[in-house]
Amino acid sequence: MIYLRTIINKVILLLFLGWTSIASAQPQDNSPYSRFGIGDILGSDFNASLHMGGLGASFIDPYTINIVNPASLSYLRTASFDMGIHAEYSTLSDRENSSISDWNGSLDYLSLAFPLQNVLNDILDRKQRDINLGMAFSLMPYSNVGYNVSSYLYNEDFGNYELNYQGNGGSYQFLWSNGIRYKDFAFGLNLGYLFGKITNSTIIDFPDINNAFASFLDRSTNLSGLTWNAGVLYTLHLNKGAGQDESSDNHQKLIFGLYGKSSTTLNYESNIFETSSLRLLDGGLIRDTLTDIRGEKVSGKMPSELGLGISYVKGSKFSLGFNYEQRDWTKFEGDFVKNNLKDTYSLSFGGFYRPNYKSISNYFSRVFYRFGGFYRKVPVEIASGEDIKDYGISFGLGMPFFYQRKISHANLGLILGWRGMNTAIEEKYIRLSFSFTFNDDEWFIKRKYN
Q: pLDDT of 117-164, one tens digit each? A: 876 666 666 667 789 999 999 999 999 998 888 877 777 777 787 888
**Structure confidence at residue 447 (pLDDT):** 54
φ, ψ at 84 (rounded to 5°): -125, 145
pLDDT in tens, the chain (450 residues): 444 445 545 555 655 555 555 555 454 567 788 888 898 999 899 999 999 999 999 999 999 999 999 999 999 988 999 999 999 998 888 777 777 888 888 889 999 999 988 766 666 666 677 899 999 999 999 999 988 888 777 777 777 878 888 999 999 999 999 999 999 999 999 999 999 999 999 888 877 776 677 888 889 999 999 999 999 999 999 986 554 556 677 889 999 999 999 999 999 998 988 888 876 666 666 777 888 888 888 888 999 999 999 999 998 899 999 999 999 998 888 766 655 788 999 999 999 999 998 888 899 999 999 999 999 998 887 766 678 899 999 999 999 988 777 788 999 999 999 998 677 788 899 999 999 998 887 665 555 544
CB 109 within 8 A of CB 84: yes
CB 54 within 8 A of CB 351: no
**What does the alpha-carbon distance between residue 371 and residue 53 come to, in Å, rounded to a whole number?**
7
**Structure confidence at residue 336 (pLDDT):** 67
- Determine the residue type at 208: D
**Structure confidence at residue 416 (pLDDT):** 97
H or E stretch including 196? strand 185-205
3-state percent helix, strand, coil for the chain, nearest multiple of 5: 10, 60, 30
CA torsion, points 16, 20, 21, 27, in degrees to nearest 10?
Answer: 140
CB 113 within 8 A of CB 65: yes
**Structure confidence at residue 420 (pLDDT):** 81
What 8-state DSSP symbol labels residue 57? T
**Structure confidence at residue 359 (pLDDT):** 86
pTM above 0.85, yes or no: yes
**What does the alpha-carbon distance between residue 88 and residue 85 come to, in Å, rounded to a whole number?**
10
Sequence-distant (≥ 6) Cβ neighbours of residue 370 within 8 angstroms: 48, 51, 52, 350, 351, 352, 394, 395, 396, 397, 398, 413
**Structure confidence at residue 319 (pLDDT):** 97
